[in-house]
Amino acid sequence: MAMGPVLASLALAALLVGAGLIVVALAPPAPPRPKAPQPLRKFAAAATPWEPTGRLSPAAEAFLFGVSVAVQLRNRRR
């Protein structure tokens, strides 16, 4: 008798998971992502390292420097 609520919970969970899978299967495909304009891609390809200006906090400048180095490395690998 103690298995009644457990079985009911499992049945309801299976029903909800099945309904979710059906919704995902019937969903339209994601639209293609637009590409950046050519001048913007050229600017990104020629990225220069972040030059600290002192206007931002040291943590923010370190973050921007790391991002600029990562972009440069990614562009070199292409």
Among 39, 45, 33, which residue's Cα sits nearest to residue 71?
45
Per-residue model confidence as pLDDT tens digits over 4-37: 889 999 999 999 999 999 999 999 998 887 776 7
**Nearest CA-CA partner of 64 in 43, 48, 41, 45:** 48
Q: Decide: pTM greater than 0.85.
A: no
Cα–Cα dist 26/9, whole Å: 26
Spell out the alpha helix ranges (H) of 1-78.
3-26, 38-45, 58-77
Q: What is the pLDDT of residues 43-69, one digit of tens each?
A: 666 666 667 778 888 888 888 888 878
64 touches 47 (CB < 8 A): no
